[in-house]
Structure 1
């Protein structure tokens, strides 16, 4: 099997890359060669080569698929066409036995090329409803995996399977002691982790910083604020640690965390669920997205895993009130999460992918 290659694709946000990062070592353990197709300047162009320098990275052109009017809507089809030609060339060269797509704009020409070259295309959809890129790519797919059972209503049932969430093995191996070393916290206050997504969130950052004096009386605060969003004037606060972005440190930081404030991206909230972290979710609004995070958050709220507040309703006063409610309901939330279905391991997901490869 050593010459059998699987091409992975996906990018644009960390959520479209993290599962691929978890699968790469497991697919290698199963005996596959792994190569990656991503965009030239998306987040994946840094994450994949940095984490896996031995995995060949093929950069292709990628147009953004917009739901709104933009002059670029007239030029991006040219980029998608160029990406299709480039993806076809990669497939001819690597002769993969399957393509696994995590979504994002770059994945569309790759899925199309796979179909044209009779290579099995496997799509993974993390959200309740498919994103635009996956919607376009699904007709070219041989099989679709979903995280939520509710998603099966929105995809072709005859070629779809709900696998549940997939959790990276390294997440479970984090160390609270290492997290404390990283942050240099030296008191017994509970730890609040704040995450605004890989790009950061101005709304969440403002909610935290406008309440920082009050919060630091009750918590040690870990603030993942997004690239370029660190505030140099807050660097010397004893129990406030801000990061623009973390990778290898995240499992350690999560293991030391008592409460989480976060957006509602599927990958992140299932990681909080696996670690049984009471969470306050502030989903990306419909004004800024297609509403997928709102659906994710509401399902978690209905199952008793999380509290939710819409960002349009978020004020400094409301935020502090929601944090008090979260702390009061800690035991109820942890009990509900304890009874949740166990996630799949990356190894189990890799075996599912391998079952759909070309013989």
Structure 2
């Protein structure tokens, strides 16, 4: 089977596409993949490192107000469609999978115009602008959250599949996770992470509460600052002094699924792919949605888990070192609450997501 994957800008778009591709490779060893992204997005670095052939299309996103830049974006879109058609004709895929981000637009649109079966996956509760546009051209729409089903109106085939990242994380080796962060096997871990680039507000709250962590010596706090904010955060911690030995400060994790598998509680943003991994593993979470993302889409994601008792949601405006410490201690020091939240998270998981999407792609390819 030959499949084109497309989606970019953030890991939240890239990793679900890769998860679908890896699932197809597991099920059909002769599968050939091609990833089409932009030369400026994270995908241009991440995808080649994963050993997947990569091609670039030049495209930028629309601004949400009238501007000359939007006129230029229309021109880039038309050129992007032309470039995508060239790549698709050359590769001859059986199907195209789009996972969001503006690069998806010209690629999935071009595939639809060439009569190639298409499937788009929406990770968030509230669909992004690109997937809303593509919904009129895609053969199948897959969504991570049940609440998203109604967001696509009368489209003939909208499926609640969950997020394919959930399938991948279940194969993670937690023993390697413990070893990679220098924590004894089976010790309780509170993982604090603000995403691949980090989150300054979360980092500042952890710095402010660091002195209190001496009171929980048996709990290991794995604090991932993100590459961009590591130096500033590390300096602030050292200026405060008295860094507790159970606080492990890390710049970046390249084995996040393994460390997640070893964690007892996670504090993070509420990107959809991360949430899929938490629920698949049954990990309680404290979610701090980013207020800086398009359409504030992380808050509905977080609220979806909080309403089911799987997470506690804290808005960034309410975040402080004292507030975060109170929430962490209230959960980690109450085994019953920790267990109930984990069970609630697991009931929301869809660990077969990648398999379901792979099966749908085979159906589409067979109808061609």
Please indicate, yes or no, whether the TM-score normalized by the shorter chain is above 0.5: yes
> After superposition, where does 1:320-335 map in structure 2 within 5 Å?
320-327=325-332, 328=334, 329-335=337-343
Q: State whether structure 2 residue 298 is matched by structure 1 residue 300.
A: no
Other structure's SS at 1:103 match: coil
Q: Which moved more, 1:154-163 or 1:71-80?
A: 71-80
**Following TM superposition, where does structure 1 have runs of at least 4 consecutive aligned residues deviating by more than 6 angstroms?**
none
Please, which of 245, 251, 257 is the counterpart of residue 257 of structure 2?
A: 251
2:278 corresponding residue in structure 1 = 272
* 1:16 matched to 2:23: no
CA displacement at 1:314 relative to structure 2: 1.1
Q: How does 1:1-359 map to 2 (within 5 A)?
A: 4-28=1-25, 29-30=27-28, 31-52=30-51, 55-68=52-65, 72-155=69-152, 156-186=154-184, 190-215=188-213, 217-218=215-216, 219-231=219-231, 232-233=234-235, 238-247=245-254, 249-285=255-291, 288-327=293-332, 328=334, 329-340=337-348, 342-357=350-365, 358-359=367-368
Bigger mean CA offset, 9-18 vs 91-100: 91-100
* Offset of residue 207 of structure 1: 1.2
Secondary structure of 1:252's match? helix
Give 5+ residue unaligned stretches, structure 2: none
Question: In 2 relative to 1, CA 169–187 (structure 1 residues): closer, same or farther, beyond 3 Å?
Answer: closer
CA deviations on 1:267-308 (whole Å, 9 max, x unpaired) are: 1112111111110000122x5431221111111111111111
Quick check: 2:286–2:313 contact (8 Å CA) kept in 1?
A: yes
Change (3 A) 1:226 1:164: same
Are 1:166 and 1:346, in contact at CA under 8 Å, matched by a contact in 2?
yes
Structure 1, 169-178 or 78-87: larger mean CA deviation = 169-178
Tell me, what secondary structure is at the counterpart of 2:223? strand
Question: Which structure has more helix as a fraction of its residues?
Answer: 2
Q: CA RMSD, aligned part only?
A: 2.3
Shifted more, 63-72 versus 324-333: the winner is 63-72
Q: Deviations over 1:236-290 (max 9, x none)?
A: 974333334333x2122112211100111111112111111110000122x5431
Q: Report the number of matched residues.
A: 352
Shift of 1:5: 1.9
TM-score, length of structure 1 as denominator length: 0.90
1:166·1:345 contact (CA, 8 Å) conserved in 2? yes
1:326 to partner: Cα distance: 2.6
Contact 1:7 1:98 in 2 (8 A): yes
Deviations 1:28-66 (A, max 9, x none): 3424321110110211111111012xx321111021222
Give 1:226 shift: 2.1
Which piece of structure 1 moves more, 320-329 or 102-111? 320-329
1:69 deviates by 5.9
Identify unmatched segments of 5+ residues in structure 1: none
